[in-house]
């Protein structure tokens, strides 16, 4: 069973701090990863995707992919209360059209 | 926002009745997916489609069937609903298998 694993949290950080969310995966064939944010009662919303080793930055968000160690992370700089949500990591099952989702990490940003 | 419409948004029905959920997209994307989301289980794939009349099973397909007769519509059917199928159902679409998936607003289904 190919898996994507996340710590469910909650991860609590003070406003203005850096939040670090991590995800490990078992399928070495995975080439791309996606981070989704889900507010309570809402649908998942794509916030970042990364296809290659290294870092990808978009505003306050940085996604990091390390294929050798099979982990992917999401850094949120200058965390705000509006960032409080569940963050889902997802990676494709090799050679299929499927995504495998982690359980999600709940982030709480405290004012 | 991706043009994805799920209907109905809420439904309450009784055990043993058939239920059909509809996902309609205006993006002309090839791939469409049905997920269910339950506390403690995250998002789980039920079925997906990679083209008109081309579908495949996900990890929790038992008790569900799907059909895709047009690019824009993907139907999920519970032939005889059970209480264990009470859940929030999300439809998602993607342009290709390596591209991100975008989600609809979800259908909250309660089976009494």
List pLDDT tens digits, range A45-64: 999 999 888 999 999 999 99
> φ and ψ at A83, to 5 degrees?
-80, -10
CB atoms within 10 A of CB B36: 23
* pLDDT reading at A30 higher than 80: no
Give residue B1's pLDDT: 56
Q: How far apart are CA B43 and CA A101, in angstroms?
A: 6
Q: Is any Cβ of chain A less than 8 angstroms from the Cβ of B39?
A: no
Q: How far is B101 from chain A (nearest CA, A)?
A: 8
B33: which chain A residues are within 8 Å (Cβ-Cβ)? 99
Q: Between chains, do B103 and A43 touch, taking CB under 8 Å as contact?
A: yes
| Cα A17 → chain centroid | 17
Q: Is any Cβ of chain A less than 8 angstroms from the Cβ of B43?
A: yes
Residue of A nearest to B100 (CA): A34
Helix (H) / strand (E) containing B96: none
- Give me the sign of the Cα torsion angle B19, B92, B57, A39: negative
- Count Cβ neighbours within 10 Å for each residue of B79-110 and write b for 16 or more, e otherwise: eebeeebbbbbbbbbbeebebbbbbbebbebe
Report residue A26's pLDDT band, with 50, 70 and 90 as the boundaries.
confident
Q: Residue B21 corresponds to which tokens in the numbers above?
A: 């959920």
Give residue B93's pLDDT: 97
Give residue B45's pLDDT: 95
C-alpha closest to that of A62 among A38, A79, A45, A82: A79
Q: How far is A18 from chain B (nearest CA, A)?
A: 25
Residue of B31, B43, B105 lying closest to A88 (CB–CB):
B43
Query: What is the residue whose two structure tokens read 């999920």?
Result: B76
Give residue B2's pLDDT: 65
- pLDDT in single tens digits along all 112 residues of chain B: 569 999 999 999 999 999 999 999 999 999 999 999 998 888 999 999 999 999 999 999 999 999 999 999 999 999 999 999 999 999 999 998 888 999 999 999 999 9
Q: What are the beta bridge partners of residue A12?
A: A108
| pLDDT tens, residue by residue, A80-96 | 999 999 999 998 876 67
Give residue A10's pLDDT: 92
- Give me the sign of the Cα torsion angle A32, A37, A40, A41: negative
Give residue A53's pLDDT: 86
Q: How far is A56 from chain B (nearest CA, A)?
A: 16
Give residue A2's pLDDT: 61
A87: which chain B residues are within 8 Å (Cβ-Cβ)? none
Q: Between chains, do A43 and B48 touch, taking CB under 8 Å as contact?
A: no
Q: How far apart are CA B4 and CA B92, in angstroms?
A: 8
**Pairs from A62-71 (Cβ < 8 Å, separation ≥ 24):** A63/A33, A63/A35, A65/A33, A67/A28, A70/A24, A70/A25, A70/A26, A70/A28, A71/A22, A71/A23, A71/A24, A71/A25
Give residue A1's pLDDT: 57
Give residue A61's pLDDT: 97
Query: What average pLDDT is seen over chain A?
Result: 91
Residue of B45, B90, B105 lying closest to A98 (CB–CB):
B45
Residues B64, B108 contacting (CB under 8 angstroms): no
Give residue A7's pLDDT: 85
């Amino acid at each position: 069973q190919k898996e994507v694993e996340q710590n469910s949290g909650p991860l609590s950080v003070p406003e203005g701090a850096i939040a670090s969310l991590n995800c490990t995966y078992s399928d070495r064939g995975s080439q791309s990863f996606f981070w989704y944010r889900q507010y309570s009662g809402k649908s998942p919303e794509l916030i970042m995707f990364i296809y290659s080793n290294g870092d990808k930055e978009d505003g306050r968000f940085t996604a990091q992919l390390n294929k050798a160690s099979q982990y992917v992370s999401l850094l949120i700089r200058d965390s705000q209360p509006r960032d409080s949500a569940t963050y889902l990591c997802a990676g494709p099952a090799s050679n299929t059209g499927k995504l495998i989702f982690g359980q999600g990490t709940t982030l709480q940003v405290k004012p | 926002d991706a043009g994805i419409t799920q209907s109905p948004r809420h439904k309450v029905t009784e055990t043993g009745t058939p239920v059909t959920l509809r996902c309609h997209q205006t993006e002309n994307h090839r791939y469409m997916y049905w997920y269910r989301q339950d506390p403690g289980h995250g998002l789980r794939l039920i079925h997906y489609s990679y083209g008109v009349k081309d579908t495949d099973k996900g990890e929790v397909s038992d008790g569900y069937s799907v059909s895709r007769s047009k690019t824009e519509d993907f139907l999920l059917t519970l032939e005889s609903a059970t209480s264990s199928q009470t859940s929030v159902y999300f439809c998602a679409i993607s342009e290709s298998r390596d591209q991100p998936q975008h989600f609809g607003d979800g259908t909250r289904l309660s089976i009494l």
